[in-house]
Structure 1
Amino acid sequence: MSQLEDRLRRTLAADTSGTPSPDLFARVRDSIEDDRARRRGRTRRLLGAAAALTLAVATVLTLTPYENGRPAMPWWTLELFTTGVLIAIALWLGPFIKRFGRAYAADVFHDNPLTGKSYIVLTDIVYYLIFAAFILFTVRFEPDRTWGADFATVNADQIEWQLQRVGGILLIIGVLHGLNIVLMPVLGRLFSLNRRLSGSHER
């Protein structure tokens, strides 16, 4: 069942025992409009990100000097570009994971919804701290001499290093996110058990 269908079902079944609410049609219409607005917003964000990436690539290629028919891009150009890509991934991937994680957390922490909301907020903080730490640990302020004889310009060794930066953060977030999915039900059961034990002691 889609999110829109679920909202319609809840709205229509909100008060079926008595006289229908006079603003029922308005609430259904507003719900549909809100869903359409969210979809349009997601589409605009995706198109904006694609346009920004295309513009960045075109700018880098335009400003790249050529020597003997070969590109001689300064090493810091690719370093800045990769750092920007990492920041863009963090800003896009965080809300994406959170949007689909809310329903999962609500199901796991159904006995204590406030705990589920706090858990989502805390995992968001951990997520951005990991991204920020990884970027700061891997950013270079001068070319690495292990990149070869022509280390001052972009070469295959530097490209490999930058791809390792992107792949490394994706691997770290993927592993941690998988562990979070596995551990969250365990934590939910522990919180529920603790809540029931506290309630039985109070009685």
Structure 2
Amino acid sequence: MSNLEDRLTRALTDYPAEPSPDLFERVVESIAADRARRRILVQWSLVGLLVIAATVAAVLILTPRHENGTLAMPWWILEVATNLVLVAIALWLGPFIKRFGRAYAADVFHDNPLTGKSYIVLTDIVYYLIFTAYILFTLKVGPEAGWDYVEPVTVSAAQVTYSLSRIGGILLIIGILHGLNIVLMPVLGRLFSLNRRLPDRVGPARDRVEY
């Protein structure tokens, strides 16, 4: 065994590894926080399922039927259902991304924890602004010319295609922006870290020059 290996062995074996006095309390708090998050996730999942079930039941009850018994869904019912789906995606996807993005942001902004927290808050605001703007831009208050214009206007294949493209479009936009955020976040973290360290290095140098 070399001298370096001998020194490392003694340092590791002789070091008094005493546990932290508040280790047990921190573990208990971590377990409680994890249980609370799981409980909230289950509650929100149940609420989402109830909302979906209530929406489907309302659609089936309010939708009239043809003489042969088939549903003749008015165009506005599908429009309202699509908007509810978009709102549900926004409310579910935002906390989901934030939950797994905290650890990534904490690792990127390890030199600036407050900056990382502010960055997460700002990205949440941008996320909901994008979702709100997208819903308002694509909202229809009347049937389009390419849809079924026979009174009463019912759901057609063109409207179903448009509704699916709305849902796919917002998922594509959020996916692209989220991917860019993952790529750019380490660059921003590095820049913030350099900006914080630069005054600490330049300040003492200026003091020595002025002396």
TM-score, with length taken from structure 2: 0.81
Q: 2:19 is matched with which residue?
A: 16
Q: 1:143 is matched with which residue?
A: 143
One-letter identity of the residue aligned with 1:160: T
Change (3 A) 1:26 1:107: closer
One-letter identity of the residue aligned with 1:56: T
Give distance in 1, aligned partners of 2:201 and 2:74: 68
Q: 2:197 is matched with which residue?
A: 196
Q: 2:51 is matched with which residue?
A: 52
Task: Report the count of equivalent residues.
Answer: 185
Once the two structures are superposed, what CA deviation does each residue of 1:128-179 show, in whole Å capped at 9, x if it has no partner? 1100000000000111011244482111111110111111001000000000
TM-score, with length taken from structure 1: 0.84
Give distance in 2, aligned partners of 1:32 and 1:192: 32
Give distance in 1, aligned partners of 2:187 and 2:29: 38
Change (3 A) 1:27 1:108: closer
Give distance in 1, aligned partners of 2:65 and 2:142: 21
Q: 2:41 is matched with which residue?
A: 42
Gap runs ≥5 in structure 1:
1-14
Q: 1:99 is matched with which residue?
A: 99
Give distance in 1, aligned partners of 2:190 and 2:58: 52
Q: Percent sequence identity over matched residues?
A: 64
Matches within 5 A, 1:68-107: 68-69=67-68, 70-107=70-107
Query: Which is higher, the Rg of structure 1 or of structure 2?
Result: 2
Displacement after TM superposition at 1:26 (Å): 5.8
Once the two structures are superposed, what CA deviation does each residue of 1:114-134 show, in whole Å capped at 9, x if it has no partner? 111111111111101100000
Displacement after TM superposition at 1:37 (Å): 2.6
Once the two structures are superposed, what CA deviation does each residue of 1:62-95 show, in whole Å capped at 9, x if it has no partner? 2210113232111111111111111111111111
One-letter identity of the residue aligned with 1:141: V
Gap runs ≥5 in structure 2:
1-17, 205-211
Give distance in 1, aligned partners of 2:79 and 2:194: 50
One-letter identity of the residue aligned with 1:135: I
Q: Is the 8 A contact 2:148 2:155 kept in 1?
A: no
Give distance in 1, aligned partners of 2:88 and 2:133: 15
Q: CA RMSD in A?
A: 1.9
The yes-or-no answer on 1:153 pairing with 2:164 is: no
Displacement after TM superposition at 1:33 (Å): 3.2
Q: 1:165 is matched with which residue?
A: 166
Q: Is the 8 A contact 2:148 2:154 kept in 1?
A: no
